[in-house]
Structure 1
C-alpha cells in the first residue's frame, strides 16, 4: 500500500479534486496516485527536459494528467539543476545561468512560485501537494505560503531528513515548524529505504522519510471557515 492508498483508506471522506506531483520524474508517483484515485486531476511537474520527455511517453494515455516542465521555489527565477537523464537525485544547485563547480550535466530551468502558478491557472484548492525536490522542499512550500495560510491545501507530502547527519534533505523539524505555524498537523511519517544516500551504506535507523501533514479544521468563527 503506497502513501496515497493509505490516505484513501484511512480518510475515506477525503475526495481530492486536484493533486500536485512536484518532482514527477518519469511518472512513478503518478502511477501510485492512480491506484488511490483513478480519475483525479493530476498536475505533474518535471523540469529536466530529457526526464520530462520520458514522463510524457510513459503517461501518454492518462487523459486526466496535465504535464508541466517547471520547477518550484520561493521566488520566480531561472535556476541550474543537476540533469542526469531520469536521475532520481537531480536538484537545484544555483540560481541564474552560471554553471556551478562539480561534475555531471546541468540544465537551466524555469522556477515558479506555487501561489502565482495557481492564481494564473485558476486553481483555488489542492487536495494533495506532493513535493520531492531533493533538499529544496521547504523553498517549494514557501512559494505556496498564501494557499497554506488559507489551508487551501489539504494534505502535504514532503521528503525530509531524520538522521542528524543527513544534509541532503530538509530536517523534519524545520518542515514541521513551518507547517505547524499554518495550522497543519503531522498526519504520518513514512520511512524511506534504510540507506544513507550520501554513502550508499545501509542504516539501522531511519535516515530520511516522507512526512505527510494535514490541514486542521478551522474553528467555527475563523475567517476562512
Structure 2
C-alpha cells in the first residue's frame, strides 16, 4: 500500500507540472528563495548575533518591490529603503506609504559620500551608476538620460540613522554592488551586518565590466563572511550572462 501511495503522489505531481508549470520540492532545500533561506538561518540561530530579521537595509529599493515582500512575509521592525533616482523615489514613497515599518531615503549607498551620475533606462530597475555592465550601457536603445544623484557610504548612513546592527542587507544596484560593500568596511569588520544578499551577472569579466561575483566574494570573505547559496532569476539563451543573487553570512566567532 505505501508504494501505491507514492506512485499516486508522483503521478499527481507530474500532472501538476505538465498543466501549470509547478512541481513539488522539499522545503529544506537551499537555493530556491533567498528570503526563505535567510529566515530559516535566523530562526535556527546559525549565528548567535542574528537570530531575527528585525532591521533590513534595502539598497536599490526601486519602487518598493522588496520592501512590500519583506513586510508581507517576515514583518521586520524597520526597513530602510534607499533609492537615489527622484522619479523612482516618488513611486517608492507612494507604494509604501501605508507600510509604517518602511523608511524611504532618497540617496544611494556606495563607496563615497558625494554626488554622482546615474544612467536611466526605460525600465527603472536598470538604473545604474556603472558606465557599463554585462547587460546594460548608455549605448543601449533603452537608454533615456543621465541624472545626478546623492551617494553615501553604508557606514555613514548607519551612523546617521543610529542603527546598531543590520540583520539583513539586500543590495540590488545594477552592477555597483561591490561599491556598496566597499562603503561598509567598518560595519563588516565589526560584524554589524548579518545576512547579505546581492545581485550579479556573471562570475567574472575579462573586460572589467561591473556586476561580477568574484570581487564581491573576495571582499566579503576578507571580512569573515561565507557563501550560503546562489539564486537564478534569469539566464540569457545566447550570451554568457544572467541575473543571479548570492546569499552570504558571517562566520560565527
* TM-score, structure 1 normalization: 0.83
Instruction: After TM superposition, list the pairs within 5 Å mapping 1:18-97 onto structure 2.
Output: 18-84=55-121, 87-93=124-130
Q: Which structure shows the bigger proportion of residues in helix conformation?
A: 2
Aligned residue in 1 for 2:154:
114
Aligned residue in 1 for 2:226:
185
Aligned residue in 2 for 1:123:
163
* TM-score, structure 2 normalization: 0.74
Are the aligned partners of 2:33 and 2:231 in contact in 1 as well (CA < 8 Å)? no
Distance 1:60 1:18 in 2: 18
The alpha carbon displacement at 1:165 in A equals: 5.7
For residues 5-30 of structure 1, give each alpha carbon's deviation from its aligned partner in whole angstroms, at most 9, with x where no partner exists.
23213541431221000000011111
For residues 97-146 of structure 1, give each alpha carbon's deviation from its aligned partner in whole angstroms, at most 9, with x where no partner exists.
xxx97652221100101111111221120001111111111111111110
Aligned residue in 1 for 2:195:
155
Superposed CA RMSD: 2.4
Give the structure with higher Rg (CA): 2
Distance 1:3 1:169 in 2: 22
Residues 1:78 and 1:205: Cα distance change in structure 2 (over 3 Å): closer
Distance 1:3 1:152 in 2: 20
Range with bigger deviation, 75-84 or 123-132:
75-84
Of 209, 212, 215, 2:247 maps to 212
Aligned residue in 2 for 1:144:
184
Aligned residue in 2 for 1:174:
215
Q: Which consecutive unaligned segments of at least 5 residues does structure 2 have?
A: 1-31, 46-50, 132-136
2:194 aligns to what SS in structure 1?
strand
Q: Which consecutive unaligned segments of at least 5 residues does structure 1 have?
A: 95-99, 196-201, 219-225
The alpha carbon displacement at 1:38 in A equals: 1.6
Q: Does 1:4 align with 2:35?
A: yes
Aligned residue in 2 for 1:97:
none
